[in-house]
């Protein structure tokens, strides 16, 4: 299996219009992902403009496909500002504090 199919968590910063609503975006990601298994999605709005919302999306599952998720978001007129975190491998790893922190 290729390395990109070992992705277990993606954290994205996106810009989306008010329509579709958050629950629609979450449901579409879950329903339209063909490769990912047991997907969970968390969307949090942290900025609102006249026409758009800035949203942090956390997607967890097995074998997530970034390109597929990007296509799903693009189809709903969502723009990915940044890919803020990727966790890949056999299990989820959490950030730990180090002396530099």
- For residue 5, the model assigns a pLDDT of 64
CATH number of the structural domain spanning residue 9 = 3.30.70.1340
Q: Is residue 93 part of a domain?
A: no
Instruction: Please give the share of the chain, as a percent, with pLDDT higher than 90.
Output: 74
Q: Is residue 101 part of a domain?
A: no
Q: Is residue 94 part of a domain?
A: no
Q: How many domains does the chain have?
A: 1
Band (pLDDT 50/70/90 cuts) for residue 3 is low
* 32 contacts: CB under 8 Å, gap ≥ 6: 68, 72
- For residue 38, the model assigns a pLDDT of 87
Q: Is residue 95 part of a domain?
A: no
Q: Is residue 75 part of a domain?
A: yes
- For residue 2, the model assigns a pLDDT of 52
Domain hosting residue 67, numbered range: 3-88
Question: pLDDT for 56-89, tens place per residue?
Answer: 999 999 899 999 999 999 999 999 999 999 999 9
- For residue 91, the model assigns a pLDDT of 81
Q: Is residue 62 part of a domain?
A: yes
Question: pLDDT for 13-31, tens place per residue?
Answer: 999 999 999 999 999 999 9
Task: Tell which residue, 74, 77, 75, 68, has the closest CA to residue 34.
Answer: 68
4 pLDDT higher than 80: no
Q: Is residue 64 part of a domain?
A: yes
Task: Tell which residue, 58, 74, 68, has the closest CA to residue 12.
Answer: 58
Q: Is residue 34 part of a domain?
A: yes
């Amino acid at each position: 299996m290729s390395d990109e199919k070992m992705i277990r968590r993606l954290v994205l910063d996106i810009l989306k219009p008010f329509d579709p609503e958050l629950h629609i975006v979450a449901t579409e990601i879950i329903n339209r992902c063909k490769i990912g298994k047991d997907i969970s999605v968390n969307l949090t709005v942290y900025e609102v403009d006249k026409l758009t919302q800035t949203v942090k999306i956390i997607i967890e599952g097995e074998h997530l496909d970034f390109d597929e998720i990007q296509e799903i978001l693009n189809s709903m007129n969502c723009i990915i500002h940044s890919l803020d975190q990727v966790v890949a491998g056999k299990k989820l790893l959490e950030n730990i504090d180090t002396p530099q922190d």
